[in-house]
Amino acid sequence: MRKLTKQQKDELEAIYQFYLNNENVKRMNEIQMHRGSSCYIHSFRVAKLCVKKAARYQRYTFEDLKNVLVASILHDYYLYDWREHHELKKKHGRRHPLVACANAVRDFNIPIEVQEIIKTHMWPLTPKLYPKTKEL
């Protein structure tokens, strides 16, 4: 994509801030990720990296970039601690993209493209859920 305009940067920042300050999204703070980090910290780190990388691709439109931003923030929006549920431990890797997507659809008005990215973000661990969008 071409260089972002000030208006586009502001729009991305507004989306970022909306999710950062959302009470439902903040629930990811209670979910532990790797090395003492929370799901919340992890997701916003991923979002920054993905948008930075995606902004360099010529084939991406601004709409694509917005989808990448929202999908990366919500990709691990599964809202349960798999360590606390013995039966979830084994299935977590494959199951959590679908749970995250269902939660995201329930709590936010997200387009189908964002849903697809969330559902397929663990591919190839999920062979049947493979990426169909160009964002991945």
Sites of contact with Fe ion (CB under 5 A): 76
Using the minimum distance from each CB to Fe ion, give the nearer residue, 24 or 126: 126
Using the minimum distance from each CB to Fe ion, give the nearer residue, 15 or 94: 94
In angstroms, give the least distance from the CB of 104 to Fe ion. 12
In angstroms, give the least distance from the CB of 118 to Fe ion. 9
99: tokens are 């749970």
Using the minimum distance from each CB to Fe ion, give the nearer residue, 5 or 49: 49
110, burial (CB in 10 Å: exposed 0-12, middle 13-18, buried 19+): middle
